[in-house]
Amino acid sequence: MLLEVLNSVFSFQILLFIVLGVFTGICIGALPGLTATMGVALVLPLTFGMEAIPGILLLIGVYVGAIYGGSISAILLRTPGTPAAAATVLDGFEFSKRGESGRALGISTVSSFIGGVVSVLALWLISPQLAKLALRFSAPEFFLLAVFGLSIIASISGNSLAKGVLCGALGITLSFIGIDSITGYPRFTFNNINLLSGMSFIPVMIGLFAMSQAFTTVEKIFTPDQVTQKISKVWPTRSDWKVILKHAPISGVIGTIIGIVPGAGAEIGAFVSYGQAKRMSKHPERFGTGIPEGIAAPEAGNNGVTGGALIPMLTMGVPGDAVAAILIGALTVQGLQPGPLLFTEHTTLVYSIFLGMFVANIAMLLLGLSSLKLFVKVLSVPKAILTPMIFVLCVVGSYAINTNFFDVGVMLFFGILGYFMQKADVSVSPAVLGLILGPMAESNFRRALLMSEGSYTIFIASPIAWVFLFLTLLTLLGPLVGDALKKKKSTM
């Protein structure tokens, strides 16, 4: 069997498809508006005429590449190419402002690789055991996971916690728009058909991050850049390596676990990893000012999701995230039924996927490191040329997601809002997090109460629920207790 697997992956054709997939994925990921999910869906028809193994590995290549690719534009242009890179903006763009974009991209590439490899190892070695974890999650656990995620707002609020909480509340409020998922009642839709399915997340994100940044740049469009980009070093320095090796493996594990949980994807993995790194850090106040762990953690976290998301898919036929759902479609088209029997009936295929995914991560590392210098050159384009291009990318990206011009309007609205938020020194990340986690928290809270017929004890009925309650309390009260202890020490 081993020989068969090696043969099926290490053929020229398959390696070519993996590299091609990763390359396509990086490009798709780097372009705002084209998400990993969309990239995989777009490439999917190409695999209809292919054999199962090359077809699925091409798609996995796109997936791995796209989750990583989003960080490139996040670091260089403050434009998360995919929602998965929204957390990377926080510290990543600060590097570019200092002229250290090469260093930031290097850290991101190596961390993504480590996160991806950790998740592939988990997928390879302990997926049947981990798969059971996915089944333990029901509505109350999802709700508490979302609440834990929201507690990270405390970590990403920038200078003012009050502003951050307000901004997070804004994001959650925005998520109320659309058809209510439990009763089917249209909320805040003003009889506008475009609002029925809610605020489209991508245009809001592009507006808040990219468009607002482009508006800010317009103010100084003819002043030449003070900062020259140091592009010589993309391979991380010894001190950066220390940080990466400390944070990336842990974030990879966090990402893998988030990936296993059905319905929680790479964007949540990245934010949770960022929050965790900040909690572990001896100098949490420096997060958001452009420190290596602020890139290493979210980037390892989001690539950790890639392997994790495949665990429930390959072992139980249950998608771990939206991309895994498409991969299930891709396997079905090949006449393979993803489900509990896949492991026993198509062992070669399953192990080829493991090995192929490992190769895809290596391809991502090599392609990333070798092309970073090219990417950095984007920043040497004069602002008067680059900024209009970003405008165009923002418009095209928000249109592409649903082919709907309404979304372009949404993007512009949030671009303007984001611009004034920047002026008022309000971090926009909590709003994005609120918009991601709001629906998850709300619908699962109400679904849990439906299931328990109104009894609140369902929220403390399982060990997983207790774990998330504890983690949430730790996040919220930890700094307070820490401060109190410090005070006590100093008065003693």
Partner 1 sequence: MKKLLVLLVLLSLVLGSAFAQGTAETATVSYPTGPVSVIVPYSAGGGTDLVARALVDAAKGSFPKNISVENRTGGGGAVGMSYGANAKPDGSVITMITVELVTLPHTGTGAGLYYDQFKPIMMVNSAYSAVTVQANSPYNTLKEFLDAAKTKTMRVGNSGVGAIWHLAAAGLGKAANVTFNHIPFDGAAPAITSLLGGHIDAITVSYSEVASQVAAGNMKVLAVLAPERIAATPNIPTAKELGYDVAIGTWRGLGVPKDTPQPIVDKITSIFTEAAKAESFVKFMNGSNNIIDILDSAAYGKKLAADNELFKALITELGLKQQ
Binding site for partner 1 (CB under 8 A): 24, 27-28, 30-31, 37-38, 40-46, 48, 134-139, 179-186, 191, 193-194, 196-197, 262-263, 312, 316-319, 325-326, 329, 332-335, 337-341, 374-375, 377-378, 381, 385-386, 389, 402-404, 443, 447, 450-451, 453
- Shortest reach from residue 123's CB to partner 1, in Å: 18
- Shortest reach from residue 112's CB to partner 1, in Å: 19
- Shortest reach from residue 292's CB to partner 1, in Å: 26
Cβ-based nearer residue to partner 1, 166 or 336:
336
Phi, psi of 387 (to 5 degrees): -65, -50
Cβ-based nearer residue to partner 1, 62 or 208:
62
CB atoms within 10 A of CB 269: 35
DSSP state of 207: I
- Shortest reach from residue 476's CB to partner 1, in Å: 28
Cβ-based nearer residue to partner 1, 218 or 461:
461
Cβ-based nearer residue to partner 1, 196 or 460:
196
Instruction: Give the whole-angstrom CA distance, residue 66 versus residue 82.
Output: 8
* Secondary structure class of 284 (helix, strand, coil): helix
- Shortest reach from residue 200's CB to partner 1, in Å: 8
Cβ-based nearer residue to partner 1, 303 or 443:
443
| Helix (H), strand (E), coil (C) string for 125-167 | HHHHHHHHHHHHCCHHHHHHHHHHHHHHHHCCCCCCHHHHHHH
- Shortest reach from residue 340's CB to partner 1, in Å: 4
> Residues 456, 459, 465, CA angle at the centre, nearest 5°?
170
- Shortest reach from residue 355's CB to partner 1, in Å: 24
Q: For residue 312, with 0-12 CB atoms within 10 Å meaning exposed, 13-18 middle and 19 or more buried, which class applies? A: buried
Beta bridge partners of 179: 186
> Is the distance from CB of 412 to CB of 211 less than 8 angstroms?
yes
Side-chain-side CA neighbours of 104 within 13 Å: the count stands at 32
CA-closest candidate to residue 206, choices 31, 343, 22 = 31
Cβ-based nearer residue to partner 1, 39 or 115:
39
Cβ-based nearer residue to partner 1, 182 or 474:
182
